[in-house]
Amino acid sequence: MATTTAPWSEAKPTALMVLADGTVIEGVGLGATGSAVGEVCFNTALTGYQEILTDPSYAGQIVTFTFPHIGNVGANDEDIEDLHPAARAGAVGAAFKADVTNPSNYRAAGHLDDWLKRRGIVAISGIDTRALTVLLREKGAANAVIAHAPDGRFDMESLKQQAKAWSSLVGLDLAKEVTSGQSSVWTETPWVWDEGYGQASGEPAMHIVAVDYGVKRNILRLLSSLGAKVTVVPAKTSAEDILAMRPDGVFLSNGPGDPEATGEYAVPMIRGLLDADIPIFGICLGHQMLALALGGRTVKMHQGHHGANHPVKDFTTGKVEIVSMNHGFAVDRDSLPEGVEETHVSLFDGSNCGISLTGKPVFSVQHHPEASPGPQDSHYLFRRFANLIRERKGEPALAER
């Protein structure tokens, strides 16, 4: 067992991260008290900590931020990505290097610590996040428990057992835990400085059904900005029920957990949509499950991709984009059958980041092109989806860039 603590701290630790291999990391607690168990990953984004922590794709995970200063701009009620905040979909824990300072930003509505408490997120600060990141890079994503006790009293043996006993993300269908409970219509459009978020108006140009496996708000905003009526449906909605809504296109959202587990009910639905020959666009978990529906396989990654600075090449344009990533599973390119084309690839490790179905209006990407947080290099993918629909309707194409 290895124990590490911040060298400048002489106070009794009020938070611990206990890894399944017995490593114990001591620090200062903030956010919710108690403990949470999950898979520890590291995120390399410099900004957007609220969007990261509220991304439903992080359900069951503890996020270590490699950027040292987290919380400086405070927290607000706008920069959240989960569709149902009351359900607290997103990361279960967070780890920071530096202490969280008082907020300094005109949009701040409060301190990050208070916001973490309201969200029920257990956090630890004052730790060597660089050392933890190196450990995760060398040994892979680790199961762990994160605990916060203001009095500094911990049941160490119980925490070790929790970390060892957790089953990992493999085989877990977490989409059912974060999805919508019923269908709804989304009308909000992207944030514009200094007006805030807008609302769709006028007669919709198309109808898009978004299947919610843990969808992010900004994805829905960008779909709405296309002039679309956006209907959000629960993860277990059948193909028959979706087609009965007479959509012009179907979007398969991001989400958490093992795609093969969620695919038990999602894959038959997606195959039903493929048989109906309707335009389909998938992101993240939606990308992985589309690949499964087309006959491919998915694999658990060593450490996953988590950050807002990942280079991806789009073979359809020949351009390299910097994108936002958040996934611990990937599509095995060698498993893709004939007729399924690889369209995007990670320039970090060469893993698959996009596919399309030859001769059909169907494509998906592994990264998060909605840019919350992250760059907007891949916003064009939403217009690419709209153009597949517009082509079917006999309407002129939108400029992708």
Tens digits of per-residue pLDDT, 253-264?
A: 999 999 999 999
In a shared domain, residues 195 and 298:
yes
Q: What is the pLDDT of residue 231?
A: 98
Given a cut of 60, is residue 1 above it in pLDDT? no
Which tens digit of pLDDT belongs to each residue from 32-73? 999 999 999 999 999 999 999 999 999 999 999 999 999 999
CA angle at residue 13 from 5 to 28, to 5 degrees?
85
* Residue 382: inside a domain: yes
Q: Please indicate, yes or no, whether residues 71 and 17 belong to a single structural domain of this protein.
A: yes
Query: pLDDT value at position 11?
Result: 73
Strands 352-357 vs 362-365: parallel, antiparallel or unpaired: antiparallel
Count of domains observed in the chain: 2
* 124 and 207 in a common domain: no
pLDDT of residue 89: 81
The arithmetic mean of pLDDT across residues 368-392, rounded, is 96
Decide which of 147, 165, 183 is a domain's last residue.
Answer: 165
The whole-number pLDDT of residue 400 equals: 82
- Average pLDDT over the chain reads 95
Average pLDDT over residues 167-192: 96
- Backbone angles phi and psi of 260, in degrees to 5: -70, -35
Active site residues: 284, 368, 370
Looking up residue 362, the CATH number of its domain turns out to be: 3.40.50.880
In a domain, 357, yes or no: yes
Report the pLDDT value the prediction gives residue 257, as an integer from 0 to 100.
Answer: 97
**Across residues 191-208, what is the average pLDDT?**
93
Q: Percent of the chain beyond pLDDT 90?
A: 94
118 phi, psi to nearest 5 deg: -65, -35
> What DSSP element (H or E) covers 76?
none
d(CA 233, CA 326): 22
Q: Look at residue 9 in the predicted model and tell me its pLDDT.
A: 45
Q: Which of 165, 195, 215 is the last residue of a domain?
A: 165
Q: What is the pLDDT of residue 216?
A: 97
In this structure, the answer to whether residues 193 and 134 fall within a common structural domain is no
Residue 388 maps to a domain = yes
Residue 110 has pLDDT above 60, yes or no: yes
Q: Higher model confidence: residue 86 or residue 209?
A: 209
- Write the pLDDT tens digit of every residue in 132-157: 999 999 999 999 999 999 999 999 99
Evaluate if pTM is beyond 0.85. yes
Assess whether 37 and 134 both reside in one domain.
Answer: yes
pLDDT tens for 316-337 read 999 999 999 999 999 999 999 9
Which residues in 20-141 belong to E strands, given as ranges? 24-31, 34-43, 61-65, 93-95, 122-125
In this prediction, residue 7 carries a pLDDT of: 40
Residue 5: the pLDDT is 43
The residue-averaged pLDDT of 88-116 equals 94
Q: What is the CA radius of gyration of the chain?
A: 21
Q: Per residue in 10-27, pLDDT tens?
A: 578 999 999 999 999 999
In a domain, 397, yes or no: no
Residue-level pLDDT at 87 = 63
Give the tens place of pLDDT for each residue, 214-269.
999 999 999 999 999 999 999 999 999 999 999 999 999 999 999 999 999 999 99
Strands 122-125 and 24-31: antiparallel
Residue 246, exposed/middle/buried by CB under 10 A (0-12, 13-18, 19+)? Answer: exposed
What per-residue confidence (pLDDT) applies to 6?
44
- Which domain range does residue 122 map to? 3-165
Measuring CA to CA, which residue among 330, 377, 326 is closest to residue 81? 326
Q: For 347-356, write each residue's pLDDT tens digit.
A: 999 999 999 9
The stretches of 30-104 forming alpha helices (DSSP H) are 49-53
Does residue 56 sit in the same domain as residue 99?
yes
Supply angle C-alpha 33, 38, 43, rounded to 5.
95
Residue 113 above 70 pLDDT? Answer: yes
3-class secondary structure per residue, the chain:
CCEECCCCCCCCCCEEEEECCCCEEEEEEEECCEEEEEEEEEECCCCCHHHHHCCHHHCCEEEEECCCCCCCCCECCCCCCECCHHHCCCCCEEECCCCCCCCCCCCCCECHHHHHHHHCCEEEECCCHHHHHHHHHHHCCEEEEEEECCCCCCCHHHHHHHHHHCCCCCCCCCHHHHCCCCCEEECEEEEECCCEEEECCCCCCEEEEEEECCCEHHHHHHHHCCCEEEEEEECCCCHHHHHHCCCCEEEECCCCCCHHHHHHHHHHHHHHHHHCCCCEEEECHHHHHHHHHCCCEEEEEEEEEEEEEEEEEECCCCEEEEEEEEEEEEEEHHHCCCCEEEEEEECCCCCEEEEEECCCCEEEECCECCCCCCCCCCCHHHHHHHHHHHHHCCCCCCCCC
| C-beta atoms surrounding 115 within 10 Å | 24
| Amino acid in the structure at residue 354 | G
Per cent of the chain over pLDDT 70 is 97
